[in-house]
Structure 1
Amino acid sequence: MASAQPLRALNLRAFDETRAGVKGLVDAGVTAVPSIFHHPPETLPHGAHRPHRFTVPVINLSPALQGTARAAAVAEVRAAAETFGFFQVVGHGVPEAATSAMLAAVRGFIEEPVEAKAPYYTRDTGRRVRYQSNLDLFQSTAANWRDTLFVEMLPEPPAPEELPAACRRVAPEYARLVQRRLGRALLGLLSEALGLRPGHLEEEHGCLEGLSLACHYYPACPEPHLTLGTPRHTDASFLTVLLQDAVGGLQVLVDLEGAPAWVDVPPVAGALVVNVGDFLQLMSNDRFKSVEHRVVSNAVGPRVSVACFFRTDRAAAPTTVLAPIVADGDEPRYRSTTVEEVVRQYYKVKGLAGTSALQHFRL
């Protein structure tokens, strides 16, 4: 009889070779979650949420974008970034037509026949457009109930023929709108929240130079109590902007009366979710919080989301320095490092619940 580990490896390989992802399992009519997707019980949601009054802040950026009430917007963004690390924005300048088209494009691609998607299915990280199920399928302790189309969009967008037809027109335009309208506005507000001029984070630290899209598709799960859509993690980014549909499932870990608790980030019509990444927590010298979040599995679906990660040009990662911006009277809490070093440490501790890559750089 084969031992558990070699059998698991065989099952992982067999799943990957279908190039059909989790969507393929659902299409095949599975009524039970395969064992490769079973997460340890201690990592899964248990029962009802603890009662609380916490709600993720929703900030209307429209007045600030129009040149009024900027100080109020800076104060709201500062409070959210310093306290929770998560907030939602409305009045953000990205048209509803663009967000709806982006979600529809992702769903359209993932729901195409396997043979249409197979040419994009790869684990070659050198390719700028990659469709796959689980980036770390062969390294993680449990697979996630999710398929992903990953696109490195900036500094140079992929050639049109590199993108799936369903996303060819929509994805570059959506990324452009998020970068130029929302990304620039957010980094300006966050710069001011640190006591700097509005263009500081963008111009001095290149926070808008790299942009990647992770387009996630979470099929309805027959046994959601056994698996996760995305396990707990922080983001290796300056900032992440998430577009989510109405299904829900995103949760953030917050401190409620001295104890950590998972709380929902409910879909809000017209809103985009914003969260601080590890790069910005280090640069802000712990002023801004990069907090853990996850996506729970759901018996309804599919859930579709698009995460825009503001990172840096991958080629520049070895030389892009991350150093704490220290306020008067404060002391640096981190040593200077590079984006490449932080990303390397991020993947080294990935999967170790509650362990931040930033601890390695703390003074």
Structure 2
Amino acid sequence: MSTTTTASTAVHERRRALQAFDDTKAGVKGLVDAGVTAVPAIFHHPPDSLPLDASPRPRHEHRFTIPVIDLAGLVTPQGRASVVGAVRAAAETVGFFQVVNHGVPEATTSGMLAAVRRFHEEPAEARAPYYSRDHGRRVRYASNFDLFQSPAANWRDSVYIDMAPDAPPAPEEIPPALRDVAPEYAALARRLYHELLGLLSEAMGLRPGHLEEDAACTDGLNLAAHYYPACPEPRLTMGTTKHSDPSFLTVLLQDAIGGLQVLVDNLEEDGESSVWVDVPAVAGALVVNVGDYLQLVSNDRFKSVEHRVVANGAGPRVSVACFFRTYGAAASTRVLRPIVAGGEGGARYRGATVEELLRHYRAKGLDGTSALHHFRL
């Protein structure tokens, strides 16, 4: 058998395996419920893309930590200036920070995490009616949005709910487990997002309303409720592959399991150009990261950095990501362009509609490369 024939057969068999998995409409949780003790081949990632501690190479510990910013300081002018400075430093370097005293009550965050877990742990037949790969549906449940595009599947299931710019979906469209708390949590997260946009505008030397009003960064919100079942062979797969986010900002609520890591520039002169740093669970905190769209609009001043979630033998891990980006009819007409400050030497990206940016991201899948490369001048 020729090499070409062998490769074609392998591709065909992989496609059949992916389709068979998708047809169950039960996700990774369905595999776990069936008692799998080995990770199926469609979830196997190349060894060089797996965490260092999943390979024979020694793991190097780095002292870098993700900043934690207390928003309680916003009540005074001096405190606000300090918060703006901290946000600027984080957005310009690592692109990630955590916020406390953010205005979302603990009862709401804990209720949101519990609701996500309840939905994903319902019987498969209760989840199946929501299973869909149709991005036109405002509420959809699926395992791996890029299942048929990515080089390897991730050990994760998700529920996506488009909360804005239109009114939230009708209650009967949302799974019962999420029906009450998801709209409440999304509204509070959106309020926080508006506050953060004001801080980031000031961090760029602009008036507080610039990103919200002139750059129109507040049109949409997609809520993604992720469930990462305990993995029998975490050394073979990933919870989420290395990627950056198709958003202006992402606000993440995570439980105490851990596993989120950020790729940061290494300043320790030990031969590594960049290193993976854990984003630990901080009591009462929400994680905030710059997305691709804000990096484009800020003309590379703010950094949309790559991050991942490692697979874990413990769990399940539950998280809720709020992706703030333009949706609906505006996505095909809203053109994002860099804000060019004096001395920057011109725009670093071509203008592009949000629809074009998102279409490229979905077609590319989570392949470990930045979607922004396609739009750089």
The farther-off stretch of 307-316 and 212-221 is 307-316
Residue 244 of structure 1, CA deviation:
0.2
Does residue 172 in structure 1 map to residue 183 in structure 2? Answer: yes
Residue 67 of structure 1, CA deviation:
6.2
Q: Which amino acid aligns with 2:355?
A: E
Q: Which amino acid aligns with 1:72?
A: S
* 1:279-318 matches, cutoff 5 A: 279-318=293-332
Q: For residue 46 of structure 1, what is the aligned residue in structure 2?
A: 52
Residue 340 of structure 1, CA deviation:
1.8
Q: For residue 36 of structure 1, what is the aligned residue in structure 2?
A: 42
Does structure 1 conserve the Cα–Cα contact (< 8 Å) formed by 2:150 and 2:367?
no
SS of the residue corresponding to residue 134 of structure 1 reads coil
Q: For residue 173 of structure 2, what is the aligned residue in structure 1?
A: 162
Does residue 9 in structure 1 map to residue 15 in structure 2? Answer: yes
* 1:269-284 matches, cutoff 5 A: 269-284=283-298
Q: Which amino acid aligns with 1:190?
A: L
Identity %: 68
Report the CA distance shift for 1:254/1:284 in structure 2 as closer, same or farther (over 3 A). Answer: same
1:302-343 CA distances to partner (integer Å, 9 max, x unpaired)? 000000000012321111111111112322222222212222
Does structure 2 conserve the Cα–Cα contact (< 8 Å) formed by 1:134 and 1:143?
yes
Aligned counterpart for 1:83 among listed residues 88, 93, 98: 93
Cα distance in 2 for residues equivalent to 1:49 and 1:95: 37
Does structure 1 conserve the Cα–Cα contact (< 8 Å) formed by 2:249 and 2:288?
yes
Q: Which amino acid aligns with 2:287?
A: V
Cα distance in 2 for residues equivalent to 1:118 and 1:344: 26
Q: For residue 19 of structure 1, what is the aligned residue in structure 2?
A: 25
1:280-299 CA distances to partner (integer Å, 9 max, x unpaired)? 00111111000000000000
1:105-141 CA distances to partner (integer Å, 9 max, x unpaired)? 1001010011111111111211100011111112221
Moved over 4 A (4+): 65-68
Q: For residue 144 of structure 1, what is the aligned residue in structure 2?
A: 154
Residue 198 of structure 1, CA deviation:
0.7
Q: Which amino acid aligns with 1:114?
A: A
Aligned counterpart for 1:254 among listed residues 264, 281, 294: 264
TM-score by length of 1: 0.96
Cα distance in 2 for residues equivalent to 1:65 and 1:341: 40
Aligned Cα root-mean-square deviation (Å): 1.6
SS of the residue corresponding to residue 52 of structure 2 reads coil
Could you tell me which runs of 5 or more consecutive residues in structure 2 were left unpaired when the two chains were aligned: 1-5
Cα distance in 1 for residues equivalent to 2:287 and 2:278: 12
SS of the residue corresponding to residue 341 of structure 2 reads coil
1:133-169 CA distances to partner (integer Å, 9 max, x unpaired)? 1111122211110000011110121111000001001
Does structure 2 conserve the Cα–Cα contact (< 8 Å) formed by 1:65 and 1:185?
no
Q: Which amino acid aligns with 2:263?
A: L
SS of the residue corresponding to residue 207 of structure 1 reads coil
Q: For residue 210 of structure 2, what is the aligned residue in structure 1?
A: 200
